[in-house]
Structure 1
């Protein structure tokens, strides 16, 4: 059997998790279980794959396992932006090849639609709001990025609004930024609440096991997933565990586990809300990829997200939290000097699975083994749509629209191979250090 050498173990103070509705986790797996399908990873991708497999194969049993509690792991730790537009940081105008960008837009919009329909159908309390997003800049480099992206959006035929700095306080309260590009199609969510809600409305032929970390895998005619308290034997395996897919023996040295750090304030008082001004609910992403992401939440907290680390084993380093909380405090004070008494309630980390060529994997990994892996920081929409389409492909269900998207994903080259250690860590850490240093006031 293949030994799984690293298991998820996220830090304890994710603000999204602690401020989302509580739920009773499903029991962990024990004993021996046989199923037609097993899905590993109950984040956005795994939940979507398990749900669609259940709908496509209503007579089959689907087992969905997660090493941690649903909503506590990676999918519940992002900034909560379900983004519609492509944003190719490798292209001069951040759009790149127009046919590819148009298909990417279709993928993201389908991911949004799937989630919106599920939230509406099941009444999931995740504060989903079609509020758009602001991409904001304060330095010349950042303003140049906004101008380049605007030109790309023109070529793609997408709506946007340019907002100069003097008008921004009416939108986001702060006068820190010089310019912003507002695009209306982004949907904001409370990510942990959304993941929890999706898990609690799975079809009846899906059995979810939480707190079940797979430690050994045997591949063959049957797939055997072993853990401390039992074994799951499946005819077919779907991997939806992002960078941890490498620990299952696939796509080795292709996905980079990069961690981002976030802090969430206490709720603002009525007086502080009046002092801040602006809209009651908004999201800001930075013009510079190494800058700060901001959210004002439904319960009047402020989220600050910045700072990166490369953790090759896919596990967080809790020693980084206090250091990066200090950076969050500095970023907060620069942007919100009118809120000097507002402290952070929570600071946490969350991982991204990134590829050097910004591509993900979709399709067959080995006989009886399939995967939708490497979301490159777009897990909410991309994870949802790729998990759904993978299950449709496995069932040979192809509508005209979904067939086009499945073919596009299957034709993608996938994440490219990274250099071996120690050169990999040296290169990634140098890139992260230089990027954060170069970001300047955008961070």
Structure 2
């Protein structure tokens, strides 16, 4: 028996969750249930896997288990970029091997296209805008990153526009940046609203149970998952729990639960919108990975996301919220001096499941146990497409993308503790310091 020693425990202050339309959570599971397919984790990956399994096996009941409320966890806490392009930060031109990059592009586009189809089919109100994204820089080092990425995009034959700093205010209002690189393929979303909508539009043969944390698992010919009010017996278990997969006994010492933090303002007044200028909605990612991400939302709020912490148990820690909101205020003030009276309404943290070699896991974990884990910060598109493709593979399908995922090396091993904690914390501190004005 494997006891689950670490359960999700996110902070209660996620702006996306509270600003999205309230829904009635599905009841927690109780008693004993038997099912051919049980999916644990109702984020982007789990929702896609459960939906596709239900489609492939319309006569089977698919059980989907979520430890918290749908939209409250990691999938509802990201910056809301459904990104199409590959971005290999380990490669000189951020593209790397061209054939691998082309396949990753197909994966990302597949996830984005599938989400767009579901949003339109079920009229999910999630502020979906296929408006592209800006990658912006203020330091010389950041500008060099943009130039390198431009060379990579040329190699990949993808469209972009380089924008001089003096022209950027026409796009994003602020005069803070010296150069930007615009790519048209990214979609922007309200992530919690999207996750809630996906949950409420699942096929009728998916049984979703929320607020049902699994406490222990027994692996064997059948997989028995126990919780406080009962148990679920699965012929096949699908894990879509990202870093919490380690708590279930898999990929131990191979994933890194790293939290990043965001704050979102109240809505801007008409006068403040006029002072800001620029387009009515946009998203900016930093040239430096440790820099600041920005969003102007459809409802005229500004979001700031930066700062990182390594939380080995995958759980939120209040001290980081209190520490990093001051950094958010400083980042906001430097970028938007024309908006001195605009306060933040919410500040929250959200987990990323990272691996040192930037690889995820896809496939068989043990007899009757399968997983799509470790999205490396691309949960919206990559989580969606790997969840869907995992279900396709379990239904006997084959194809280029499935083969690519099955043959990937997976997350590499981390150094032993305490070396991994010491090294990662030092790396996070140094990266945030080195980001300079990009932070």
For Structure 1 versus Structure 2, the TM-score category normalised by the shorter chain is over 0.9
> 1:320 aligns to what SS in structure 2?
helix
Q: Aligned partners of 1:24 and 1:168: how far apart in 2?
A: 42
Q: Aligned partners of 2:224 and 2:329: how far apart in 1?
A: 47
Instruction: Tell me by how many angstroms 1:294 deviates.
Output: 0.2
Instruction: Tell me by how many angstroms 1:357 deviates.
Output: 0.1
2:421 matched to 1:425? Answer: yes
Residue by residue over 1:306-351, the C-alpha shift from the partner in whole angstroms, topping out at 9 and shown as x without a partner, is 0000000000111111110000000000000000000000000000
Q: Which residue of the partner structure matches residue 38 of structure 2?
A: 38
Q: Which residue of the partner structure matches residue 197 of structure 1?
A: 197
> 2:247 aligns to what SS in structure 1?
helix
> 2:38 aligns to what SS in structure 1?
strand
Unmatched tracts of structure 2, length 5 or more? none
Q: Aligned partners of 2:228 and 2:427: how far apart in 1?
A: 39
Q: Aligned partners of 1:231 and 1:167: how far apart in 2?
A: 59
Q: Which residue of the partner structure matches residue 102 of structure 2?
A: 102
Q: Which residue of the partner structure matches residue 168 of structure 1?
A: 168
Q: Aligned partners of 1:377 and 1:320: how far apart in 2?
A: 19
Q: Which residue of the partner structure matches residue 67 of structure 2?
A: 67
Q: Aligned partners of 1:360 and 1:322: how far apart in 2?
A: 31
Runs ≥4 in structure 1, deviation > 2 angstroms? none
What does 1:347-386 align with in structure 2 at a 5 Å threshold? 347-386=347-386
Q: Aligned partners of 2:289 and 2:4: how far apart in 1?
A: 32
2:115 matched to 1:115? Answer: yes
Q: Aligned partners of 2:26 and 2:416: how far apart in 1?
A: 39
Q: Aligned partners of 1:308 and 1:55: how far apart in 2?
A: 38
Q: Which residue of the partner structure matches residue 401 of structure 2?
A: 405
Instruction: Tell me by how many angstroms 1:119 deviates.
Output: 0.3
Q: Aligned partners of 1:161 and 1:194: how far apart in 2?
A: 29
Residue by residue over 1:224-256, the C-alpha shift from the partner in whole angstroms, topping out at 9 and shown as x without a partner, is 000001100010000000000000000000000
Q: Aligned partners of 1:411 and 1:264: how far apart in 2?
A: 40
Q: Which residue of the partner structure matches residue 131 of structure 1?
A: 131
Residue by residue over 1:242-287, the C-alpha shift from the partner in whole angstroms, topping out at 9 and shown as x without a partner, is 0000000000000000000000000000000000000000000000
Q: Aligned partners of 1:196 and 1:65: how far apart in 2?
A: 14
What does 1:213-228 align with in structure 2 at a 5 Å threshold? 213-228=213-228
Instruction: Tell me by how many angstroms 1:166 deviates.
Output: 0.3
Q: Report the TM-score, using the length of structure 1 for normalisation.
A: 0.99
Q: Aligned partners of 1:379 and 1:299: how far apart in 2?
A: 24
Unmatched tracts of structure 1, length 5 or more? none
State the number of aligned residues: 439
2:51 matched to 1:55? Answer: no
Instruction: Tell me by how many angstroms 1:203 deviates.
Output: 0.5
What does 1:136-155 align with in structure 2 at a 5 Å threshold? 136-155=136-155
Q: Which residue of the partner structure matches residue 275 of structure 1?
A: 275
> 1:136 aligns to what SS in structure 2?
strand
Q: Which residue of the partner structure matches residue 439 of structure 1?
A: 435
> 1:304 aligns to what SS in structure 2?
strand
Q: Which residue of the partner structure matches residue 5 of structure 2?
A: 5
Q: Aligned partners of 2:70 and 2:347: how far apart in 1?
A: 19
Q: Aligned partners of 1:270 and 1:363: how far apart in 2?
A: 51
> 2:347 aligns to what SS in structure 1?
strand
Q: Which residue of the partner structure matches residue 21 of structure 1?
A: 21
Instruction: Tell me by how many angstroms 1:188 deviates.
Output: 0.3
Q: Which residue of the partner structure matches residue 258 of structure 1?
A: 258
Q: Which residue of the partner structure matches residue 328 of structure 1?
A: 328
> 2:48 aligns to what SS in structure 1?
helix
Aligned residue among 411, 416, 438 for 1:415: 411
> 1:319 aligns to what SS in structure 2?
helix
Instruction: Tell me by how many angstroms 1:420 deviates.
Output: 1.1
Q: Which residue of the partner structure matches residue 207 of structure 1?
A: 207
Q: Aligned partners of 1:244 and 1:420: how far apart in 2?
A: 18
Instruction: Tell me by how many angstroms 1:397 deviates.
Output: 2.4
Q: Report the TM-score, using the length of structure 2 for normalisation.
A: 1.00
Q: Aligned partners of 1:320 and 1:195: how far apart in 2?
A: 25
Residue by residue over 1:176-204, the C-alpha shift from the partner in whole angstroms, topping out at 9 and shown as x without a partner, is 00000000000000000000000000001
